[in-house]
């Protein structure tokens, strides 16, 4: 039985990424086989689709860091044919075939059953971005920070993680400051719950080791100088959740925010997140996420449009979430 997939192959010239027909016998090892119905386009997907990134660690590789679908067969007692499942992270599109395919075979330990009341399309509208944003919120809450502590800053606000973080924080009662380079998205960001919009240029240039205390918490998907400035302007005892590197992997900061203001830098890893925390995040997303806001930030595309979407997300030309219809 054949199925469609977007696959990256290694060539003498580099990488060849294209839509191909594959045979089910080519699927990788795993104890659960899934009919994939939906996937997403994230920043990491854009890197892989470019054919120039080092994000892919083995070839050939089916791309797509997220997937949702229906179990076709299982050698496990905890998953049965017909179960609706979600998979984000765990090396999809890096070391294990990902979600841009009509079939997937994976390790059942990686799977989460779709929570009641959450469709597979909604699960992928959330995807890695929403899952990461919820992990960031949970980490901030673990620092005993609440909306009464002060405002929360979200960088890369119009992107997938940023959009989800604004919605989640606002619905929890936080006053949200959104940092973006696209003033044209002001109405969109305010509809998600942002109270104030600031220009990303105020954070992207090299700054002082310590600045005026502005926010109690932050969710940063940019990294580099932006994250350094966010830390320098975080209030005493505050915390910043770092979950992205759209601006670079470097962090040109000093110890000043940490030893003079007791600021915490919280690393957010959504790829290898432990199962217990993963289940709790999806439980909260299913219960707490405003579905109307989710619909506002989501656009659905067919598999064939993934290449264009990947190029645009690298240029910062997309907003919110892109769901890919696979089956």
Domain co-membership, 238 together with 134: yes
| CATH number for the domain that contains residue 228 | 3.40.50.720
What is the average per-residue pLDDT within 241-260?
96
Cα 97–Cα 71–Cα 68 angle in degrees, nearest 5? 55
Domain co-membership, 313 together with 184: no
Pick the last residue of a domain from 248, 267, 286: 267
Domain co-membership, 81 together with 191: no
In a domain, 73, yes or no: yes
In a domain, 274, yes or no: no
Residue 251: CB atoms within 10 Å = 15
How far, in Å, CA of 304 to CA of 4, rounded? 10
Express each pLDDT in 22-39 by its tens digit: 999 999 999 999 999 999
Q: What is the pLDDT of residue 41?
A: 97
Question: In the structure, what pLDDT confidence band is assigned to residue 44 with cuts at 50, 70 and 90?
Answer: very high
In a domain, 278, yes or no: no
Domain co-membership, 183 together with 308: no
Domain co-membership, 103 together with 214: no
In a domain, 65, yes or no: yes
User: Which pTM does this prediction carry?
Assistant: 0.94
Domain co-membership, 171 together with 220: yes
In a domain, 121, yes or no: no
Domain co-membership, 205 together with 234: yes
Domain co-membership, 253 together with 301: no
| CATH number for the domain that contains residue 302 | 3.90.180.10
Domain count, the chain: 2
In a domain, 81, yes or no: yes
In a domain, 280, yes or no: no
Express each pLDDT in 189-243 by its tens digit: 999 999 999 999 999 999 999 999 999 999 999 999 999 999 999 999 999 999 9
Q: Which residues have CB under 8 Å from 277's CB, separation 6+?
A: 135, 138
Domain co-membership, 33 together with 103: yes
Domain co-membership, 63 together with 134: no
Q: Chain-wide mean pLDDT for the chain?
A: 96
In a domain, 291, yes or no: no
Q: How far lies 232's CA from each of 201, 226, 261, 262, in Å?
A: 15, 10, 9, 11
Q: How far lies 185's CA from each of 230, 253, 297, in Å?
A: 21, 29, 11
> Which residues constitute the domain of residue 243?
128-267
Domain co-membership, 312 together with 247: no
């Amino acid at each position: 039985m054949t199925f469609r997939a977007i696959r990256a192959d290694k060539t003498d010239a580099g990488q060849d990424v294209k839509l191909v027909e594959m045979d089910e016998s080519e699927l990788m090892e795993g104890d659960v086989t899934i009919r994939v119905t939906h996937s997403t386009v994230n920043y990491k997907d854009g890197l892989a689709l470019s054919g120039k990134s080092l994000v892919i660690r083995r070839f050939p590789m089916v791309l797509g860091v997220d997937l949702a679908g229906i179990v076709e067969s299982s050698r496990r007692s905890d998953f049965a044919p017909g179960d609706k499942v979600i998979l984000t992270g765990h090396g999809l599109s890096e070391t294990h075939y990902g979600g841009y395919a009509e079939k997937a075979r994976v390790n059942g330990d990686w799977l989460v059953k779709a929570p009641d009341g959450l469709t597979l399309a909604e699960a992928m509208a959330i995807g890695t971005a929403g899952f990461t944003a919820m992990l960031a919120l949970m980490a901030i809450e673990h620092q005993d920070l609440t909306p009464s502590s002060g405002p929360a800053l979200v960088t890369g606000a119009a992107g997938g993680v940023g959009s989800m973080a604004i919605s989640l924080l606002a619905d929890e009662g936080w006053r949200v400051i959104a940092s973006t380079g696209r003033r044209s998205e002001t109405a969109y960001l305010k509809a998600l719950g942002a109270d104030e919009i600031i220009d990303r240029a105020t954070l992207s240039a090299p700054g002082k080791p310590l600045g005026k205390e502005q926010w109690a918490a932050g969710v940063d998907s940019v990294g580099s100088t932006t994250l350094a400035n966010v830390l320098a302007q975080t209030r005493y005892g505050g915390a910043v959740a770092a979950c992205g590197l759209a601006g670079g992997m470097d962090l040109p900061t000093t110890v000043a925010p940490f030893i003079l203001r007791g600021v915490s830098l919280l690393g957010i890893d959504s790829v290898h997140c432990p199962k217990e925390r993963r289940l709790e995040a999806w439980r909260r997303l299913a219960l707490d996420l405003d579905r109307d806001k989710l619909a506002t930030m989501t656009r659905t595309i067919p598999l064939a449009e993934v290449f264009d979407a990947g190029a645009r997300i690298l240029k910062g030309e997309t907003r919110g979430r892109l769901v890919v219809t696979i089956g």
